[in-house]
Chains A and B, each alone.
Chain A
Amino acid sequence: MSRHETFSAARTRDIVSAHLDLEGPLLPILHAVQEAFGFVPEAAVPVIAEELNLSRAEVHGVVTFYHDFHRAPQGRHVLKLCQAEACQSLGCRELTAQAERALGVGIGETSPDGRVTLEAIYCLGLCATGPAAMIDGRLVGRLTPAKIDGLCAEVDR
C-alpha cells in the first residue's frame, strides 16, 4: 500500500491555491505536490503552470533543475547514503558498494519490484558522526557494515 495519493488535477489545484498568498510560491507548491503524490507527475505541470500564469516550460525547467523533485514514483523505501567528503573519509564508498550488492540496485536506481530506491545525498550535516544515511526520512549515523545490513533488512520488510 502506498502512503501517497493518486494524481488528480483537482487536488493539484487545491495545493496551488493553498500557497497563493506566498511570495514566490513555486518551490513550496512542488514540495507539497511531491508530498501528496510521491513525485511530481508530468500531468501536474500544466495545471501548476496555468494556476500560476507561467509557461509549462518554466515549471518543467524548475522541476528538472532540483535534485529533490522526482518525475517518477520512488520505491516504497528510500535509502539515501551520504557520498560527500567527510563520509568518504570514513569509508562510505565501501559501505555504498555493500548496500548496492545487498539490494541489487545501484545508486540512483529503484528495484524492479518497487521495494526500494537507493540514492546519493551530499551531506546531511552529520559529518562528525558519519558515515551518515537517511532511510524513509529517519537519520542514521556512525554507519558500519552491520548497520548497512540492518538497513537493507529493513527495506526487505
Chain B
Amino acid sequence: MSAAIRVFVPSDAAARACGADEVAIALRAEAQRIGVDIDLVRNGSRGMLWLEPLVEVESAGVRYGFGPVEASDVPGLVAAGLFTAPASVSGPLAIGPVAEHPFLAAQQRLTFARCGVTDPLSLDDYIAYGGYKGLQRALALGPLGIVEEVTKSGLRGRGGAGFPTGIKWKTVHDTPGAQKYIVCNADEGDSGTFADRMIMEGDPFQLIEGMTIAGIAVGATRGYIYCRSEYPDAIATMRAAIVTARRAGFLGARVYGTDHAFELEIREGAGAYVCGEETSLLESLEGKRGLVRAKPPLPAHKGLFGRPTVINNVLSLTAVPHILADGAAFYADYGMGRSRGTMPVQLAGNIRYGGLFEIAFGITLGELVEKIGGGTASGRPVKAVQVGGPLGAYFPPALFDTPFDYESFAKRDGLIGHGGIVVFDDTADMALQARFAFEFCAIESCGKCTPCRIGSTRGKETVEKIIAGEDVDRNLEVIADLSNTMKFGSLCALGGFTPYPVTSAIAHFPDDFRRSARLPAAAE
C-alpha cells in the first residue's frame, strides 16, 4: 500500500489566469486513467510567475517543479513519469527541485516563507509551518510589549508612505476609546503590484494573525480588511480563512482562550483607486463617497466612525507575526539605513522573470531588473522602469545603481511605494506614459481639490499638444508650472505625486517629447 502522491497546482489568480484550473483537471483525469492515487493540493504561488502554472510533484520529500504547464502538456508529462518518477522527467518544462531554484534561493523570505509551500486554507499547515507563534509571544508580552517590539523592529508602512508602524500603534494604544478598530488596507491599486493579492490568496491566516496581534496591542476588538473588487479570488480566500479561524477559536469573543476579543470582516471596494488613500478608504468603509479627509485629525485619533483606528497595509500587518515570533532584532538585522527588514519586491511588465522577490532593503534597482529579472521579456533593451505605481517616477538604466530603500529613492525624486517595478523596453514612448499619468489622475481624482481635478485634465491636454508638436517649449513650461501647482496644492498624493512620473519622463527621456518636432526636420 502506498500513500497518495502529493501534487501541487497553484490556485493563485495569476496561475488561474494562465490555465491552472484546466491543468488541475487534466492532472486528475490522467491520474485516474492510469490508476495512480494523487492528492492534489491547490497551493499559493511561489512567485515565479513566468513559470505559472507551476506544477509540483513530491517524491521522497523533495518537490520537483514543471512549468509553465498547459493542460495539453499533461498527458506527455504523465507518460514520462510525472507522478511516479518526477526527478527523472526531463524536457523544457522540468525545473528540478523547486526550493533550490536560483530565483527562490536568492531571496530572504519572511512574509512569503509559506506562500506556495502550504495549502492556504489549511490551518494545520499554517501552524505546522510556524503560524501563530507570533500571537503566542504577543500574548505573553502584552499590549505595550508588542508595541515596543514592533517599534524596535524598525518596520515602516509598506503601503507607500513608509511611516513607522510602531509609532502609529503607540498613538492608537494611548488614545482612549470604548471602540477601536484595525483596518487593513488591501486596496493595492498600483499597477505592477500584486504582493497583497498573493499573500491573501496564498497565506491568508498570516494576515489574520497580524491583525489580531495589532488588535491586542492597541485594544481594538474589531477589524476590517478593505479589499479592492478587482481581487475576487483574494476576497473569497480571506472570507473562507476568517470562518476557519473563528471556528478554531483564533477569532471571536475569546481569542486563543484569552479575554481578548477580536472580530474580523472583509469588505469589498468598488473600483476607485483613491480609496487606497487611508482617509478615503475609511469614508468608503463608512458607506460614503471616497473623498479624502483633511488631516488632522489623524485616523489614529479619529478614524473609522470617528474612533481611534490603526490603518495598515497588508504587507505591514503580515510582517508582524514574524517580528513577534523571531524578535525585533532578528527582523531589524535585515535592511539598510532607516529601511529595516525585507521588502516583497514585485517585478512586472515587460520583464523576463517576472514575479515576487522578497529581499532585504539595499539591493540595487539594476540587480533587481537585470540580474534577478533577466531584463525584458521582449529581449529588447530596457528603456525605463517605473517604480512605486502610477505615482512613482520613471528611472532610466543610468540610475540603476539606486539602492532599493526609502531614502535612496526619495533622494532621486522617486519612491518605492508598495514595491512594484514595471519594466518598459525601448519601444515605449515616454510622452504617452506622461499623458497616461495625467489621464489616470483625472479618472481617479476624488474631486476635492482643484489642482488635482482640473490640473490633471489640463496636463493631459497639454501633453497631447506636445505629442502633436505644437509649441513644444512653451507647453513644456506649462507642464512644469502645472506640476508645481499640483505638487504643492493637492491634499493627497494622488494629485501631489502625479507630477513625478511626468517630470521624470521629461527629464530622462527629453527626445520622446520632441519627436514630431524632430521628424519634419529629419525629412528635410
Contact = CB atoms under 8 A, between A and B. Distances in A.
Interface of A: 22-28, 30-31, 58, 61-62, 65-69, 84-90, 93, 121-130, 132, 137, 139-142
Contact of A30 (B52, B230, B270, B443): B270
B contact face: mostly helix, strand, loop, or mixed = mixed
A128 B230 contact: no
A93 B354 CA distance: 20
Interface in B285-320: 285-290, 305
B231 interface: yes
Given A62-B289, A139-B17, A123 B189 contact: yes
A90 B349 contact: yes
* Residue among A31, A87, A90 with most chain B CB within 10 A: A90
Nearest to A133: B17
Contacts of A132: 17
30 contacts: A23-B305, A26-B287, A26-B288, A31-B229, A31-B270, A58-B288, A62-B287, A62-B289, A65-B290, A66-B290, A67-B270, A68-B269, A69-B270, A89-B349, A122-B191, A122-B444, A123-B192, A123-B230, A124-B13, A125-B193, A125-B231, A127-B193, A127-B354, A128-B49, A128-B349, A128-B355, A129-B18, A129-B50, A139-B16, A142-B18
B273 interface: yes
Contacts of B267: 27-28
B258 to A, nearest CB: 24
* Residue among A23, A62, A65, A85 with most chain B CB within 10 A: A85
Contact of B349 (A24, A27, A86): A86
A78 B21 CA distance: 21
A68 B287 CA distance: 14
B230 A24 contact: no
Given A67-B271, A84-B191, A27 B14 contact: no
Contact of A139 (B13, B422, B425): B13
A130 B432 CA distance: 19
B75 interface: no
A27 B268 contact: yes
A contact face: mostly helix, strand, loop, or mixed = loop
A141 B49 CA distance: 11
A129 B288 contact: no
B324 to A, nearest CB: 28
Contacts of B13: 124-126, 139
A30 B196 CA distance: 25
A123 B190 contact: yes
A85 B268 contact: no
Given A31-B270, A128-B354, A130-B349, A68 B229 contact: yes
A66 B273 CA distance: 10
Contact of A90 (B194, B272, B290, B377): B377
Contacts of B444: 122
Contacts of B425: 89
B17 A27 contact: no
Contacts of B420: 86, 127
Given A27-B268, A89-B422, A61 B289 contact: yes
Contact of A129 (B52, B233, B285, B287): B52
A130 B444 CA distance: 22
B329 to A, nearest CB: 33
Contact of B192 (A24, A65, A68, A86): A86
Contact of A66 (B52, B271, B443): B271
B424 interface: yes
A125 B16 contact: no
Nearest to B190: A123
B197 A125 contact: yes
The 9 nearest A-B residue pairs measured at CB: A128-B354, A26-B287, A141-B17, A84-B191, A66-B270, A127-B348, A67-B271, A89-B349, A68-B271
A37 B226 CA distance: 24
A123 B386 CA distance: 15
B230 A125 contact: yes
A123 B433 CA distance: 16
B188 A125 contact: yes
B189 A89 contact: no
* Residue among B13, B290, B305, B349 with most chain A CB within 10 A: B349
Contacts of B270: 27, 30-31, 66-69
A137 B13 CA distance: 12
B351 interface: yes
B27 interface: no
* Residue among A22, A67, A84 with most chain B CB within 10 A: A84
Contacts of B374: none
A89 B428 contact: yes
Contacts of B138: none
B272 A127 contact: no
A87 B273 CA distance: 17
Contacts of A137: 232
B229 A89 contact: no
